[in-house]
Amino acid sequence: MKIEPELYKAKAKKAVNNSVLQNALAGLQERLGRGTALSYQRLPEGPDLRLKAHDIRSHAIEHLDILLGALADNVRQNGGHVFFAEDGQAAVNHCLEITEKHNIKKIVKGKSMVTEEIGLNIALERAGLEVTETDLGEYIVQLAGETPSHIIAPAIHRTRHQIGELFADKLGISYTDNPPILTQAARKALRKKFLSADMGISGCNLACAETGHIAVVSNEGNIRMSSTLPRVHVAFMGMERITACLEDYDILFRLLSRGAAAQNIAGYVSYLGGPKTDDQIDGPEAFYLIIIDNGRSRILADNDFREILCCIRCAACLNVCPVYGKIGGHAYGSPYSGPIGAVVTPLLFGINQAKDLYCGETLCGACKDACPINIDIPGMLITLRKKRAEGDRKWNVKRTNIMERMIFKIWALAVKNKKIYDFFLRMTGFLQTFFTGHDGTIHRLPFPFSGWTKSRNMRPISSKRFISGSKNIR
Amino acid sequence: MAMEQNEQEEFLSNVRKALGVNPIQKRDKPDIFKEFKDKNPDKTLETINNRTVDEKKALLEILIKEADSLNLNIIPIKDFKTAAKKIAALAEEKEPEWGEKKQIIAWKHPLVEKLDLNSILEVLKAPIPVCFTDLAHEKKIGRKQNDTIRMQMIHSYIGVTSADYCLAETATLVMKTRPGQARSVSLLPLIHIAVIRINQIIKNLKELYTILVYKQDEKEEGLTNCMTFISGPSKTADIEGVMVHGAHGPREVYIYVITDE
């Protein structure tokens, strides 16, 4: 998909005025946000299990070089191929080479955010290949010519009515807005695709270094189909999606399923390692794993942000975020939306380019509470703002304009000196009377303060000082 | 291959550089694989092995309770003969999904063979053929033979398998892939039936991973090239969050638990 975080403000504004989307987002958060919190409470170990999960993930990230080396060795031992791709283009090229080598025409795909990140579909289609997304939500989004608006519920922005019209148009069925009938229509159309595809593409939820398997998770069964029926299977994984040993999955998958959909465990989990053997009836004849860096080693090198690589992309933070809940996924202009997107998108695609994403979040901390790994997302949002304010060569960030810095310098001086501060208060108290309306609020401030009253009325500064009130109490 | 190796070396040295260790020196720390391992696996294995009949029944109860919310049917049953009769009745009642013809695909597996489904289903008024995913007698699969079985799987409305384990706390079937035990049987048909013995039920994921890593025969076999967990029928909530069963895989799943034999 096209990465365009610079359109954040315009798209967010549009989303806030879209009542259909507002209902859908409220419904999603009501259902999943609460469900996830409850499911953490019901864990036998309690919500503190998330701290253990954090330890396991950090441990893996700290030893990434060793684990990736072991994974590659073990996958090859199981008969699979492993490629390491420094950036998105290298990963796409590997995939194109595989399609040529195996004479591929038709491809079915399971949901994978990293392939969205590197623009795989566009490249494959340009090469004349047919690519079909098979997760129902992704399929809907693909038929409509859109991009996913949620990591695990990609078509959450569409109503059943819209989907009914879309299917009537594209699949030639008569119009209905009945979800079971619509699902059945997609099942029928996609079954044909599964059975005629030569290649299946999937992501990777978490690879196991010790055994040389990738683990993939779904509820629909589309990833099992994509990795079982076609003669070639190609899996893409971001380099951080790995763990040391099999036992780690107990905690990580219990939390992943709870974070993603408030489930005890997802409907299907498959551990895949290598092509089928001669005496097996089904499974792919060739298995490829493409491991992608694409900016992740730069995040790894920065201690401020290394922790974000612990993320397992469950989307729990989207389901509780007050900002995501209003503006939806498309505003973020990236496959990664919500709080996780507000950290990952700037780090992968540019802190300046994606500045609205981390400035737009509220720092309320709900994302951290919902995170199954207890990642400090609010802390990283603040660090990103700091980098933007102060500039950072390593991240290619230019310092914010000199005016803003000056104002803050003066402000810092004022609050440290009682005389200046008192004078400032008296002045503003006097000046604000010119801007206060009949209802006692300030409707419009002059430049450079006009931004504060652009979309709301401001309350005037109180005539009674807080400190004088507290003296009376004492 | 040499290019792949170079690419890998460059990639990993980048990672090492980012981690702040010597980029050109391959790190070797075997201990990191042991960090979060079960400290006392033998005890866990012993607990699993020494479960009393009552404890096993208690696990079955947990399984039944968990399965309920997943729309998964657990049917405890005395013996294989009764189970076979029940399965035959189900096969008569249900309609095929694509086309008119009823056909069943089944694993070549000792527990499935004990059902002897053919002997019941072939004498019905409208006989239902049962095909097996069995190629064990062939040294090497010819493409043609493989295609025949694939077509049988595609056109079957019921798939019958067993499983390696069943986890009570999450209502999860665990199956590895072996010759004769094709992956598609639990995936392509509209209805999936699994037959297991009560002593294949274990408590949870933790017990499973301990068994897989420390039990001698499991350790030797490894995970195989595909180990699958199945917890209930295929499902989706992608249209307005409405739960619909049978997205791509089976719409109905039945687990017959043989309690006495």
**A218-233 pLDDT per residue, tens:** 999 999 999 999 999 9
pLDDT at B16 over 70: yes
Between residues A444 and A97, which one has the greater pLDDT? A97
Q: What is the pLDDT of residue B259?
A: 95
Question: Do both A114 and A254 map to the same domain?
Answer: yes
pLDDT at A259 over 80: yes
> Residue B12: which pLDDT band, with cuts at 50, 70 and 90?
very high
Mean pLDDT for the stretch of residues A269-294? 95
> Does residue B11 form part of some domain?
no
How far is it, in rounded angstroms, from Cα B182 to Cα B162? 11
Domain with residue B148: its CATH number is 3.40.50.10420
How far is it, in rounded angstroms, from Cα A148 to Cα A155? 6
The token duo for A246 is 């099999």
Mean pLDDT for the stretch of residues B15-21? 97
Mean pLDDT for the stretch of residues A157-181? 96
Chain A 120-149, residues with CB within 8 Å of chain B CB atoms: 134-137, 140
Using CA atoms, how far residue A306 sits from A240, A301, B9, B18, in Å, is 10, 7, 22, 10
The token duo for A395 is 């991240």
Q: Which of A270, A296, A322 is where one domain is finished?
A: A296
Q: Which of A296, A317, A348 is where one domain is finished?
A: A296
> Does residue A302 form part of some domain?
no
Q: What is the pLDDT of residue B1?
A: 64
Please report where in the chains the tokens 């303060």 appear, as a residue: A449
Q: In percent, how much of chain B has pLDDT > 70?
A: 95
> Does residue B253 form part of some domain?
yes
pLDDT tens track for B94-128: 999 988 899 999 999 999 999 999 999 988 889 99
Residue in chain B lying closest to A188 (CA) = B248
* Inter-chain CB proximity A220 and B248 less than 8 Å: yes
* Inter-chain CB proximity B248 and A221 less than 8 Å: yes
Mean pLDDT for the stretch of residues A170-194? 97
**Any chain B CB within 8 A of the CB of A254?**
yes
Mean pLDDT for the stretch of residues A186-191? 97
* Inter-chain CB proximity A267 and B232 less than 8 Å: yes
Backbone angles phi, psi at A29, to 5 degrees: -70, -35
> Does residue A193 form part of some domain?
no
Q: Which of A280, A296, A312 is where one domain is finished?
A: A296
Indicate the range of A269-278, A430-439, B174-183 predicted with least confidence: A430-439
The token duo for A333 is 């202009």
> Residue A429: which pLDDT band, with cuts at 50, 70 and 90?
confident
How far is it, in rounded angstroms, from Cα B254 to Cα B70? 12
Mean pLDDT for the stretch of residues A290-310? 98
> Does residue B37 form part of some domain?
no
Least Cα separation, residue B211 to chain A (angstroms): 10
Residue in chain A lying closest to B26 (CA) = A66
* Inter-chain CB proximity B35 and A300 less than 8 Å: no
Q: What is the pLDDT of residue B256?
A: 98
> Residue A458: which pLDDT band, with cuts at 50, 70 and 90?
confident
Mean pLDDT for the stretch of residues A303-327? 97
Q: What is the pLDDT of residue A205?
A: 97
Least Cα distance to A107 among A23, A200, A215 occurs for A200
Domain with residue A274: its CATH number is 3.40.50.10420
pLDDT tens track for A414-426: 889 989 888 888 8
Q: Which structural domain, as residue segments, surrounds residue A441?
A: 402-473
**Any chain B CB within 8 A of the CB of A225?**
yes
How far is it, in rounded angstroms, from Cα B164 to Cα B186? 13
How far is it, in rounded angstroms, from Cα A272 to Cα A284? 10
- Which of A182, A224, A306 has the most B C-beta neighbours within 10 Å, making it the best mutation to test the interface with B? A224
- Which of A165, A247, A292, A307 has the most B C-beta neighbours within 10 Å, making it the best mutation to test the interface with B? A247
How many structural domains compose chain A? 2
> Does residue A266 form part of some domain?
yes
Least Cα separation, residue A321 to chain B (angstroms): 18
* Average pLDDT taken over every residue of chain A: 94
> Does residue A13 form part of some domain?
yes
> Does residue B2 form part of some domain?
no
pLDDT at A473 over 70: no
pLDDT at B136 over 70: no
Q: How many angstroms from the chain centroid is the CA of residue A252?
A: 18
> Residue A453: which pLDDT band, with cuts at 50, 70 and 90?
confident
* Inter-chain CB proximity B15 and A64 less than 8 Å: yes
How many structural domains compose chain B? 1
Question: Do both A13 and A152 map to the same domain?
Answer: yes
Mean pLDDT for the stretch of residues A398-426? 85
pLDDT at A170 over 70: yes
Q: What is the pLDDT of residue A472?
A: 60
How far is it, in rounded angstroms, from Cα A307 to Cα A379? 11
Mean pLDDT for the stretch of residues B134-149? 67
pLDDT tens track for A9-22: 999 999 999 999 99
* Inter-chain CB proximity A209 and B141 less than 8 Å: no
- Chain A residues in contact with B19 by the CB 8 A cut-off are 62, 64-65, 300-301
Q: In percent, how much of chain A has pLDDT > 70?
A: 98
Mean pLDDT for the stretch of residues A280-304? 97
Using CA atoms, how far residue A262 sits from A43, A347, A383, B95, B153, in Å, is 11, 29, 30, 33, 33
Q: How many angstroms from the chain centroid is the CA of residue A222?
A: 21
> Does residue A113 form part of some domain?
yes
> Residue B138: which pLDDT band, with cuts at 50, 70 and 90?
low
pLDDT tens track for A45-54: 999 999 999 9
**Any chain B CB within 8 A of the CB of A87?**
no
Please report where in the chains the tokens 């608006």 appear, as a residue: A149
* Inter-chain CB proximity B248 and A190 less than 8 Å: yes
pLDDT tens track for A362-389: 999 999 999 999 999 999 999 999 999 8
What ipTM was estimated for this complex? 0.96
The letter for the amino acid at A453 is T
> Does residue B56 form part of some domain?
yes
Render the burial of A70-89: b for 16+ CB within 10 Å, e for the rest.
bbbebbbebebbbbbbbebe
> Residue B36: which pLDDT band, with cuts at 50, 70 and 90?
confident
Beta strands A232-238 and A199-202: pairing type?
A: parallel
> Does residue A318 form part of some domain?
no
Q: Which structural domain, as residue segments, surrounds residue B170?
A: 43-233+247-258
pLDDT at B23 over 60: yes
> Nearest Cβ partner of A280 from B179, B240, B248?
B179
pLDDT tens track for B171-200: 999 999 999 999 999 999 999 999 999 999
DSSP string computed for chain B: -HHHHHHHHHHHHHHHHHHTS-TTSPP--GGGGTTTS-S-HHHHHHHHHT--HHHHHHHHHHHHHHHHHTT-EEEEES-HHHHHHHHHHHHHHSPPSSSS---EEE---HHHHHH-HHHHHTTSSS---EEE---TTSSS--HHHHHHHHHHHHT-SEEEE--SEEETTTTEEEE--BTTB-GGGGTSSSEEEEEEEGGGEES-HHHHHHHHHHSHHHHHHTT-SEEEEE-SS-EE-TTTT--EE-SSS-SEEEEEEE---
Q: What is the pLDDT of residue B250?
A: 98
* Inter-chain CB proximity B234 and A266 less than 8 Å: no
The letter for the amino acid at A48 is D
> Residue B34: which pLDDT band, with cuts at 50, 70 and 90?
confident
Beta strands B172-175 and B165-167: pairing type?
A: antiparallel
> Does residue A268 form part of some domain?
yes
> Does residue A63 form part of some domain?
yes
* Inter-chain CB proximity B229 and A27 less than 8 Å: no
Between residues A466 and B102, which one has the greater pLDDT? B102
How far is it, in rounded angstroms, from Cα A287 to Cα A76? 10
The token duo for B128 is 């239902």
